[in-house]
Structure 1
Amino acid sequence: HGLTMADIGVVGFHGQTVLHRAPEAGRLGQTRQLGDGELMHSILGAKVAYDFRSADMRAGGQGAPLAAAYHTALLRAADASGDMAVLNLGGVANITWWDGKDNVVAFDTGPANAPLNDFIKAKGLGDMDRDGALARAGTVDEARLARLLQHPYLTKPYPKSLDRFDFTAAMAEGLGAEDGAALLTAFTAAAVGKALDLLPHRPKRLVVSGGGRHNPTMMAMLASRAGVEAVQAETLGWKGDAVEAECFAFLAVRVLRGLPISFPSTTGVPQPMRGGKLAG
């Protein structure tokens, strides 16, 4: 883009999450990200905002999801009715809903790509169900799916959050590649449907970012099993593969300006919470 480091006011550096343990009654949560913000600052020469989650967790929050502030900014420019929400399908799925006024709700809905990818890898069939081909060819075990959907997390009130390994490929244990992929994909979509039922107002449309939006079978199952129109982020002119990176650039500016990055209705902190550390 023709920029030099002198043009960069601040870099948002999230790091690689290796642990996310949600808080429980009488116990604060824990979070760990690999990466050294101070070292990055010394290499780049620019200010670096990092460690976005720790302060939220020390205050009793979930530490996730943190994308809500940026998702809300995007929704403000696109829809003010509460009929549209943002769904990110990464390893875990998270949703952000805004009522068009002052109320923002965000939480992890359940797994997204992580169990499916791990299942496919264990079968020796690559890193993912590319284009949803295996799931599309498979048959969902509806009885097994119904049992999986009784998991208490899915009806637990928000705020709530998940680790990548809270739901695993073991949900499809004993199934062949196609039927297992179909089951795991259906579970992700149906879990989103349960999450929508928890919101103050059920949105009619989901704008989907993250890698899961490239899976047409998962997108189709959001319509059939979550009962909602699902469109790729690009439909609104967003860059679906860059939304999370843009989010942490957005949060970095908020850290730089001393503004809150998490809120009672998104992570459960007692009050709007500043967070992150600043190197430089």
Structure 2
Amino acid sequence: MSSLVFKFQRRLKKVDNSKIFQGVVIGVIILSALLVGAKTHNLPPLAIQILGILDVAVTFFFVFEIVIRFMATPKKKQFFKSGWNIFDTIIVIGSLIPAGGSGVLIARLLRVFRVLRLVSMVPELRLLINALIKAIPRMGYIALLMFVIFYIYAAIGSIVFNEINDVLWGDVSISMLTLFRVATFEDWTDVMYETMAVYPISWIYYLTFIFLTAFIFLNMMVGTILEVMSQEHENFRAQAHGESAEGGEPASRAQIDKLEKELQEIKALLKQQAPN
């Protein structure tokens, strides 16, 4: 009995890992995204009925696919230890909510999130998301420093420029919104020229702020993400080649050293067995 179950799991695992099946799943996800977009247009009743049938078919396919993946896992607890499996399961269960009655809006919103399954199906996209998630703690300290700079400049702007334009510099919170506009270069020169009409040297205030936020801190954010992404690429490449990223040295180097040691032992044995 156990052997039959094992063979059945192996077949399901083979189906789940096959490129054809993965391509079909990605195609259905894209179809699901197109269905969500098509429903936002004014369509004739016949087209709406066809879209409804296709939506039901897509939902049942997602259920079928997640069941195959779950059944192909030997230890069922291991299935839910993967964050991507939990993510896919939540989306699939959310898609099963009926679209009638008061749950229409919730059901439609949950069906929109089915497009995110494309992230869990494509390894390269998973790599990007994992890198972004791992970069968040480092980016948090940069964001905290940015907030301190924003707060200092907002306080200065509220004190100095309050009488010039109360709408832009009324208090610290409004001043921070104004500075965000300046940092994103959204008509920031209009704000600067307005204050320069009263304080000619106020351009120093804006240029130093832009230099700190738009150039230094933004580049620090980008550098952090690129560093983490590079590490993730190395780990992914090591796993793809059966190597280990731990210890700072790939497993392939250890394998080469082991082979060289075995060759030396073989040479020593051959020398001992060779006739004098």
Normalising by structure 1, what TM-score? 0.22
**Higher strand residue share:** 1
Highest RCO, 1 vs 2 (Cα 8 Å, sep ≥ 6): 1
Q: Which structure has more helix as a fraction of its residues?
A: 2
